[in-house]
Amino acid sequence: MNKQKWTEKPITWGGYLNLCGVVYVISVIAGFVWYIASFEPAWWSSFKKKAKKLFMIWRPGRRF
């Protein structure tokens, strides 16, 4: 039996549509984050402060 690698198999329309769906969802999430960060800077700056505080708890000797 001659097994094919997944890279040697032909591309189907179903696989192409699945790929398009995944890329679409990722771009919608990235676009939403960009939209929130652009039009609501207070939210973005408070998120950055919380992230810095969280990382400072994990590594108290380091400064950012």
Does 64 fall in a domain?
no
* Secondary structure class of 24 (helix, strand, coil): helix
Q: Is the pTM of this model over 0.75?
A: no
The pLDDT assigned to 9 comes to: 81
The pLDDT assigned to 22 comes to: 97
- Give the separation between CA 53 and CA 56, rounded to whole angstroms: 5
The pLDDT assigned to 18 comes to: 94
Does 28 fall in a domain?
yes
Give the residue numbers spanning the domain of 51: 14-58
Does 2 fall in a domain?
no
- How many structural domains is the chain composed of? 1
Per-10-residue mean pLDDT for the chain, 64 residues long?
Answer: 75 91 96 82 77 73 56
